[in-house]
Structure 1
Amino acid sequence: MLIRSATLPDGSQRDVRVSGDSIAAVGRDLEPGDDRVLDAAGKRLFPGAIDVHVHFRQPGYPHKETWETGSRAAAAGGVTTVVDQPNTDPPTVDGAAFDQKAEFAADSLIDWGINGGVTADWDPDSLLARRLFALGEVFLADSTGDMGIDTDLFAEAVDAATEAGVPVTVHAEDATKFNEDARARDDADAWSAYRTAEAEAAAVERACAIARDRDARIHIAHTSTPEGIDIASEAGMTTEVTPHHLLLSRKDLDELGTLGRMNPPLRRESRRRKVYERVADGTVDMIATDHAPHTRAEKDASIWDAPSGVPGVETMLPLLLAEARDPDTPLSYERVRDLTAATPAAVFDVPQKGAIEPGRDADLVLVDTTETTEIGGEALQTDCGWTPFEGFEGIFPEWTMVRGTVVYDADAADPFGAHDGQNVRDADGELL
C-alpha cells in the first residue's frame, strides 16, 4: 500500500509506503509502482497508540472483557499494542500463569505484552524467565485482586527485575495515609476522600527512594496528583496519567456515581488542572488508560461495595485528538503522538513501534480531524457497554493498521479484519 499525501503529527505532508509488516519508505512523491494507492489528502496519519496499562480480565473474569473484545475496542480507538496487568485469576505471578494468559492473548487482534505480578507467593525464577513486558503493576496498596505488598517485598522485586533486565511499574498508594473518617460517608465523593492524594505522594516518594538506593528505574502507573508526578520526575523516574485523571475530577462524581470509582480515585479540579499542565509541558511521559471494565450490574452498588475501575482503551486517542484539535488547549498533535506512541516505545524499549519511519512496524492510524463524534457507551466495542466519558467529543479512526494489516475499517460492513496479534517481546528488541 502507498498512503498518499498524509499529514503527519508534525504537520508535514508525506507519502508512506507499507511493505509486508513494515514501513518501507516515507517521503514526497513516492512512485506507486504496483502498490495499492490510498489518498489520504486532508487526513492525519499517526503511529498506532501503545497502551501500557490495560486489564483485559482473562483469565478469571471473561464476563467483564476478553482479549477478543478488548482488542477490538483498542483497534477501534487507534490502539495497536496493549500491555495487560497481572491481577487476573489466577494472578500472573509465575511462569505457568503467564503461559495460560498468553494462550488467551492469542485471540487478540492487535499486538500485546504481558506484565508479571508480585505477591507473597510469586515465583520470580519462572516468571522472569518468560517474555515479560514488565514486572508490575506492583501494588503498594490493595486494589482489584488484593495484590498489595509491603516495602520489603517491593525492594526484593525491584532487585530481581533489575538483575533480569525487566522494567518495573508501580501502583503507588500508601494505605496508612487513607482517611478512615471517610468511611462514615456514603456519597459518591467518599471514595476520593478516603484514598487521599497524600497516600499517592507518600507511596511515590518511598518507591522512588527504594529504586534510587538500588540504582534502578521504575515507572509510576496512573499518577493522579501533581505532587506524585513532581516527586517521580525529580527522582528521574517515568510516569503515566490516565485519560480519566486528565479530564475528570471530583466535581463529576455527582453525575458519575459509582461509575466514577477507580484506584487511585478522581482528584479535586485544581489538582486535575495541574496534572493537565504537566501532561502538556512534557513532565508526564505518557498516557495509559488503566482500562478496567466492570459490568453495569457490578457497578450498581454502594460506593464501598462497587468495584474500582473504568473502561478507556477505546476512547483514549479519540479524546486526546479532540483536545489537540481545540485551539484553547495546550496539547498539540505532536504531543499526542509522543504521549501515546513515541515515548512508551522508547521508555519500554520497543524499538519496532511508536513512529512513522522506515523499518518500523506498519502500525498506523488514519483520522479526519475535521470530524468529531459524540462518545456513547452503548456504541463502543468494549464488552461492558459504558464509559465515564459519555457525551464527550472524540476523533475516532477511519482505519487502524497493525503490522501492515488493516484490523479496523470504520466504513466496512464488518469493520474488523482477520489478524493474529503477537507478543511485542518476541521481536527481541530489534527492528523487524
Structure 2
Amino acid sequence: MRVIREAMLADGRVRDVRLDGERIDAVGEDLDGEAFVEADERLLLPGMIDAHVHFRQPGFGHKETWASGSRSAAAGGVTTVVDQPNTDPPTVTGEAFDEKAEFAAGSLVDWGVSGGVTADWDPDSLFERPLFALGEVFLADSTGDMGIDADLFRAACRRAADAGVVVTVHAEDADLFSEDAKSRDDADAWSAYRAADAEAAAVERAVDVGSEAGATVHIAHTSTPEGVDAARAGDATCEVTPHHLFLSREDLDDLGTFGRMNPPLRSEARREALFERLADGRVDVIATDHAPHTGDEKDASIWDAPSGVPGVETALPLLLDAAREGDLSYERVRDVTAANPADIFGLPRKGRVEAGRDADLVLVDPENAREIRGDDLHSNVEWTPFEGKQGVFPEWTMVRGTVVWDGDEFAAFDGENVRQ
C-alpha cells in the first residue's frame, strides 16, 4: 500500500493517508506502507467535483472535446465532472445519453451526464439510463431551444422526484429582461438586458414548483446575492461560478464580448455580496459552467457573440488563492468544491479524505501562486477571462489512485477511464 506522508488536511491537521488501489484505506498518524509520498505538510484536498460543465461533444467538438476538457479539469484539480445536456443532439433521450457516454468514455477524470428537458424529451428512455440529474433545465424562453414552459417544468419535476433525481435549474425570468438595453452595443449591454431581478424571481418560481412536486431542486450558476437568499429561503441548494465571484461589470471594458455569459456579470456590489455568502456558508457549491467558445466566435458584437467562458481549470486555483489571501478558509474551499456536491448529488465515495472513499486527491503548495495565462491552460480554446489573476495550481491530481496530472504531463488512458 502507498502512503502519502505528513499531508496537511483542510482542517489544519497533519496526517498520513494510506491508499489501497482506488480507495483510501486509512487516515492517521505514522501509518505503515510499502511506498511513500512525502507531502511535507503541503495541502491535500479531495478532488473537486465540478457539477456543471459543457464539454461540447457531441456536436461542437471544435470548441472542446472530452479529451481536452478532462485534461483541463485534471490540471485544475477537478477529478469528477458532470456534463450538461445542451449538446447536439441534446441529451433528452436515452439514445442521446448513450451517444454522449461514448464520447465521455475517454475522459481522464470521472464523469456524469445530466439529462435535459425539452418539448421533445423522452423521460421513459432517459430515466432508464444511469442519469446523474436533470441538468440546467431552463425556465426562460430566451435561453435557446432548451427552454421549457411552466407546465412541462412541473411535469419534469414530478418525474424527477419519482426517479430520485436532482433537478438543476437555470433560473432567469425572461419577462423581466430589459428590452431597452437592446438599443445599446457596448459590452455591458448584455448585463443590462438580462437584469439581476430576473434571477431571484425565477428562483422563487422554481423552488415553489419543485416543492409542490416533491423534487430536490438545485439552482445553477446563481449570480446575485438575492438569488442565493431565495434558494435558501426555499430549501433549495445553489451553486455559484468563479466568474461571478471574481469578475463584475467593472471588468467588461477589458473583457469585451469575451465576458458575455448567462447569467451575465453583475455589479461590483453584488459580486462582493455574493462572495460574502460564499465565505459565511450560504453558498453550497462552486461549479464552473465551463462553456468554451473559440476566440473567433467570441470576437463578435455583444448581440452575436455566444454566451459562455471556460473555467474548469482555474476554479480551484482561484479559490485556493483566495484562501491564501485569507478571504476564505480551506475548509470552505473543501466543502463547496467537494464535500457538498458529493452530498447533494449522491456520490458517497467522493468528496472527502476519509477511509473508504475514492482516492481522488489533489496536492498543492498553498503558498505557490502563479499568474493565470490562457496560453498555459489545456482547454481547446486557449483563453481565459481570468488572464493575469493569481491561482494556486495542483502539484499533482489523482483519480481513484492514479496520478493523472503530475504538474507537467498527463497519464495515458485506455479510452475507457483512468485505469491503466
- Shorter-chain TM-score above 0.5: yes
- Equivalent residues in 2 for 1:22-421, closer than 5 Å: 22-32=23-33, 35-142=34-141, 146-327=145-326, 329=327, 331-411=328-408, 415-419=409-413
1:358-407 deviation digits (Å, cap 9, x = unpaired): 10000000001121110000110011000000000000001000000000
Cα shift at 1:66? 0.2
User: Which residue of structure 2 lines up, in the alignment, with residue 429 of structure 1?
Assistant: none
Cα shift at 1:148? 0.8
Q: Which amino acid in 2 is paired with 1:211? A: G
Question: Structure 2 vs 1, CA of residues 392 and 143 (structure 1 numbering), >3 Å: closer, same or farther?
Answer: farther
Cα shift at 1:422? 7.2
Q: Aligned partners of 1:142, 1:117: CA distance in 2, in Å?
A: 15
Q: Aligned partners of 1:233, 1:73: CA distance in 2, in Å?
A: 32
Q: Which amino acid in 2 is paired with 1:192? A: S
Question: Structure 2 vs 1, CA of residues 420 and 131 (structure 1 numbering), >3 Å: closer, same or farther?
Answer: farther
Q: Is contact 2:106-2:416 (8 Å) kept?
A: no
User: Which residue of structure 2 lines up, in the alignment, with residue 426 of structure 1?
Assistant: none
Q: Secondary structure at the match of 1:115?
A: strand
Q: Is contact 2:161-2:214 (8 Å) kept?
A: no
Q: Secondary structure at the match of 1:344?
A: helix
Q: Secondary structure at the match of 2:50?
A: strand
Question: Structure 2 vs 1, CA of residues 54 and 422 (structure 1 numbering), >3 Å: closer, same or farther?
Answer: farther
User: Which residue of structure 2 lines up, in the alignment, with residue 16 of structure 1?
Assistant: 17
Q: Aligned partners of 1:6, 1:419: CA distance in 2, in Å?
A: 27
Q: Is contact 1:87-1:145 (8 Å) kept?
A: no
Q: Aligned partners of 1:319, 1:405: CA distance in 2, in Å?
A: 24
Cα shift at 1:421? 8.4
Q: Is contact 1:220-1:240 (8 Å) kept?
A: yes
Q: Which amino acid in 1 is paired with 2:384? A: T
Q: Aligned partners of 2:13, 2:415: CA distance in 1, in Å?
A: 30
Q: Aligned partners of 1:29, 1:143: CA distance in 2, in Å?
A: 58
Q: Which amino acid in 2 is paired with 1:251? A: E
Q: Aligned partners of 1:16, 1:224: CA distance in 2, in Å?
A: 37
User: Which residue of structure 1 lines up, in the alignment, with residue 6 of structure 2?
Assistant: 5
Structure 2 stretches lacking a partner, 5+ long: none
Question: Please, which moves more after superposition, 35-44 or 168-177?
Answer: 35-44
Q: Is contact 1:321-1:394 (8 Å) kept?
A: yes
Q: Is contact 1:318-1:394 (8 Å) kept?
A: yes
Q: Secondary structure at the match of 2:115?
A: coil
Q: Is contact 2:321-2:391 (8 Å) kept?
A: yes
Q: Aligned partners of 1:77, 1:122: CA distance in 2, in Å?
A: 34
Q: Is contact 1:76-1:397 (8 Å) kept?
A: yes
Q: Secondary structure at the match of 1:207?
A: helix
Q: Is contact 1:46-1:337 (8 Å) kept?
A: yes
Cα shift at 1:146? 2.4
TM-score by length of 2: 0.97
Count how many residue pairs are aligned between Structure 1 and Structure 2. Answer: 417
Q: Aligned partners of 1:178, 1:143: CA distance in 2, in Å?
A: 9
1:115-163 deviation digits (Å, cap 9, x = unpaired): 0000000000000111011012101125665211111110010011111
Q: Secondary structure at the match of 1:2?
A: strand
Q: Aligned partners of 1:80, 1:383: CA distance in 2, in Å?
A: 19
Q: Which amino acid in 2 is paired with 1:232? A: A
Q: Aligned partners of 2:164, 2:334: CA distance in 1, in Å?
A: 27
RMSD across aligned C-alpha pairs, in angstroms?
1.3
1:307-356 deviation digits (Å, cap 9, x = unpaired): 000000000000000000103x2x10010000000000001110000000
Question: Structure 2 vs 1, CA of residues 363 and 333 (structure 1 numbering), >3 Å: closer, same or farther?
Answer: same
Q: Is contact 2:342-2:350 (8 Å) kept?
A: yes
Cα shift at 1:216? 2.3
Question: Structure 2 vs 1, CA of residues 421 and 252 (structure 1 numbering), >3 Å: closer, same or farther?
Answer: farther
Q: Aligned partners of 1:105, 1:420: CA distance in 2, in Å?
A: 12
Counting aligned pairs with the same residue, the percent is 69
Please identify runs of 4+ aligned residues in structure 1 that moved more than 3 A.
142-145, 419-423
